Amino acid sequence: MALKNYNPTSPARRGLILVDRSALHKGGPVKALTEGKRKTGGRNNKGHVTSRGIAGGHKQRYRYIDFKRRKWDVEGTVERIEYDPNRTAFIALIKYDDGELAYIIAPQRLAVGDKVVAGKKTDVKPGNAMELGQMPVGTIIHNVEMKPMKGGQIARSAGAYVQLVGRDRGMVIVRLNSGEQRYIPANCMGTVGAVSNPDNANQNFAKAGRTRWKGRRPLTRGVAKNPVDHPHGGGEGRTSGGRHPVTPWGKPTKGARTRNNKKTDRMIIRSRHAKKKG
């Protein structure tokens, strides 16, 4: 998909750059594959704000996406490519030979009328899904499982992909966009290709209101607050906020490492931070 530039006919149009979605399906989703979605406004069941910066936004329906791809050896045809308000990637409606409909994350270069299939081993074509252990080394993949039967968790966002770089004792080695290399069980599923809508990151919404339509409220910088409201607050004149940036609750932030998962440390071969060591 290309990017659309707009003439500066108003302040809201000046600088506006959006993804051209003219080739996508114009109507609504398949109702049987959707569910109503209730807004939380960032509040929990007690009405307290637990996630700041969330409110409003356009009304949405959630689309059920098949992240597992466990309908093996049944060929499906791409009926249409659709917009999904719940994610940055586009989604594809698949009609299987037995008549069943399902949504999958649409990879790049997947077009209406293309055939896709999932199985233990399939052709290396965009949209086909198979076990990681059966893929050739060097394959670009997305929607990668971390545990068998759990469904894809890695590389589901617009333009994302990982590369399969090796095999080792019932495991495969994948390289993530962050630079991390890690082991994944060879019987986990992955889908061939990179995720659609790679230009999503190049958009410029040009006005605050367009961000509010997405349900995001503005956040006040800590240095602009009073000491009672934020550790960075207060001070005479304009201050930068101190030496160590922290959250409103005093936790280190902006690059401070907080990962603490000893169970999966052994699965990481090369940390995404390794390249930063000078």
Whether the model clears a pTM of 0.85, i.e. scores above it, the answer is yes
- Please give the full DSSP string across 144-209, using - where no structure is assigned: EESSTTS-EEES-STT--EEEEEEETTEEEEE-TTS-EEEEETTSEEEESPBS-GGGGG-B--SHH
Q: In this structure, which amino acid lies at residue 245?
A: P
Tell me what pLDDT residue 239 has: 84
Tell me what pLDDT residue 1 has: 66
Spatial distance between the Cα atoms of 77 and 83, rounded to a whole number of angstroms: 18
> pLDDT tens digits for 169-221?
899 999 999 999 999 999 999 999 999 999 999 999 999 999 999 999 999 99
Tell me what pLDDT residue 274 has: 84
Ranges under pLDDT 50 in the chain: 278
Spatial distance between the Cα atoms of 114 and 266, rounded to a whole number of angstroms: 40
Q: Look at the block and give the residue holding tokens 């049944």.
A: 74
User: What length does the chain have?
Assistant: 278
Answer yes or no: are the C-beta atoms of 102 and 33 closer than 8 Å: yes
Residue 93 parent element (H or E): strand 91-96
What are the structural domain ranges in the chain? Answer: 3-200
Tell me what pLDDT residue 278 has: 47
Spatial distance between the Cα atoms of 168 and 139, rounded to a whole number of angstroms: 16
Spatial distance between the Cα atoms of 257 and 273, rounded to a whole number of angstroms: 10
CATH of domain 3-200: 2.40.50.140
